[in-house]
Structure 1
Amino acid sequence: MSTNNGGRALGIASVATLLTITACGGDGDGDAPGDSGAQEGPQTLTVWHYQSEDAQVELMDTYAEEFEAQRDDVTVENVYVPYDQMNSRLVNAAGAGEGPDVAFFNGAETSIIALGGALTPINDYWDSFDDADLVQESVLHQIDGDIYAVQGYVNLLGLWYNAEILDELGEEPPTTIDELESAMGAAEEAGYRGITLTGLPNSQGEWQAYPWLTAAGFSYESPDEEALVEALTRAETWVDEGWLSQEAVTWDQTVPFQEWASGDTAFAVNGNWQRGNAEADADFDYGVAPLPLGESGGVYLGGEGQGIGVNSENPDLAWDYLESTLLDAEGQLHALEIVGSLPSRSDSAEDDLVTEDEILSAFSETVTELGANYPDTVLPPEAVGDVQVSMAQAWSAVIGKQSSPEEAAAEAMATLESLLEQ
């Protein structure tokens, strides 16, 4: 149930409204980035990012100030690049022999940037990083064995629940899918709605479908059509029983949370970035539980990836910045306090700021037990986008009653087979 944890936790509640995305930052206008490179004597470390909300900018400034305090010969230059221009500017700058020392970007798009020649592998740095074993392996972004990015924090999905509805129905937060469906059925019989999520036929849809696909035993490593049919049949059942609205095929991740926050829906599949919206809009007691997925289930760990620009004149300094800020135990707590993102280090996840907070602890438990690379590491980098759209289209077609689970699964499997051969 939602509680006021006092102390440092208050900082999260006041700024989490600014965390409005799943795996990446917002967009906006900004100046074009310039050339980068080390200088003789005092050095300038150039960091490109797309963080535009006040709290996000505060986090970037905090990292810059702390690193400058550690290295009095270094000035950190944070350069804003609009989100929808980041990938192309990184690749174009790399081709011109320019670019940043450090880049923040959508972690899910690491392959696009790395294959475009904009990032340098960080294997040697990672191998010599004393705390590497404390960082979740599922936040490393690799291509053919080379590490190109790591996430200093993560954003992910959980099961938000209306505690007052569950109390009225005599239900507990579910720990299995059967318990979830039983609670949704009871909610529907009592005049409430069961669950909200997104069924968009794009990457957002695949992001929210993935936990339920894997819970049914489906994986990209060993795609099984029967498991896919099982997962899609479950979604069809939720619609047929009146637990999930067909309108979900038009909802991004913002709308279903607004629907849940209105107070007449038992559950919402949504992320930690919605905490501020919950505190502002949900006029009822609520809580978060890990998605009840079973042993085979997985939840994508989204968030910004951090990498070293291929043309950095001082990659050692760039790595020093990453190791001293985003990959540092205290640095990860800055991300938690300022923007509400979860630590990717196991020791940071054990801080009181996480464990004594009923909302954050549920998400943190998911990171440890169910966290999965986003995107799935078995997908060929050049096929990631097409795979996500293909699976999302199947998910959306079933929720929207445009296809049967069998038809949608067969079409997705045919597309997937051709994509995985790349």
Structure 2
Amino acid sequence: MERFIFEKLIEWKNSPYRKPLILKGVRQVGKTWILKEFGKRYYENTAYFNFDEHEEYKEFFETTKDVARLIQNLSMASGQKILPEKTFIVFDEVQDCPNVINSMKYFYENAPEYHIACAGSLLGIALAKPSSFPVGKVNFMQINPMSFSEFLLANGDENLMNFLKSVEDITPIPAAFYNPLCEKLKMYYITGGMPESVLMWTEARDVEAMQNALSDIIGAYERDFGKHPDVTEFPKISMIWKSIPSQLAKENKKFIYKVVKEGARAREYENALQWLADARLVHKVFRNKAPRLPIAAYDDISAFKIYLVDVGILRRLSQLSPTAFGEGNRLFTEFKGALSENYVLQALTTQFEIEPRYWSQSNPPYEVDFIIQRENDIFPIEVKSELNTQSRSLKKYQEIFGDEVKLRIRFSLDNLKIDGDVLNIPLFMADYTDKLIGLALEGRK
């Protein structure tokens, strides 16, 4: 299955400023396959080292920091050929190997001729720990679940994906493309973007196997909760995880600790929640008080919403049956549109450097689902999962912040159009939000 991250990896390989690469991503998102496939496509050979499978390799990094000796020891022990520039070196499952991670500093400083990448399932947790780390000596790259565009490619719908890429103006999408794209998006809500789940559907068309794949992935995540160094945090992490569908089913999706457990307090559960965020299993979206720069300066860190890493994981964790596919627009409207919001957030986080926020006020109650920073402008976003696209909150936001709002954005089942300063983006075009905002702004000059 083709992954768009290959384009970024090629840029990394060819960059004169290339540093050792750390590839981050949740378990079973495809990190190992991507690195092996990249090595197969763009190098003479790949030298692959799995530090979970071969723990004895860790000893090499405990006794020396000399890169030449490390390369010699690894090559002799594994029987793999390692040549400067020609070999892609992959260190996998390094999350429990601080010496391996720290060695990246010496690869960068003393042996830049070696092309090397590290990956690990809970690397976000490991990197959050206060330990020796090669600050400024590595490049980071994040691999996310497959996007809807990648899903289309995997499903054999290259024509639909190419059409979406070809859109260069804000005009309605013809029905010949619009209708099948809506149907494919419903299928994506069911499978999500985890490669194994997508594979079970796109190649085998096996719904039961797809369901089992998602269950197995969720089970693997839940077993990882036990890897928290404080055993008392395990049940708290598990309760937060299982509460997320209930949190998102509320009209007001602000995270409420008492939904996790009656009487729960923030200070009792905030470490467990942070573990999930560091592991990138959840997205933590803070409330923002005003659309001004720097955006983080206006965060209300006491109020936030929690979404899952993948819309398919959310659908499976919520125990919503795949039969919902045939029930009109139910997938778009279920859980107060939570699946649509989760899907849109996934698309936004891959396109914009700054994490999205949301905006709300309590009296009277208004809430804009997300606000994003694009260059030096901030845009409000609402996600409408039904055909009724009237938005009191977007209107109120514009009334309050006036000239600061260059464009308001609404995702819905309506067609692509611009109405005054409101850009309506069909849900299936979320992967092209950045491009469409640019086209809309250009057209309004």
Query: Is TM-score (shorter-chain normalized) higher than 0.5?
Result: no
Q: Which has the higher contact order (CA 8 A, sep 6+)?
A: 1
TM-score range, shorter chain: under 0.3
TM-score (norm 1): 0.28
Q: Which has the larger radius of gyration?
A: 2
TM-score (norm 2): 0.27
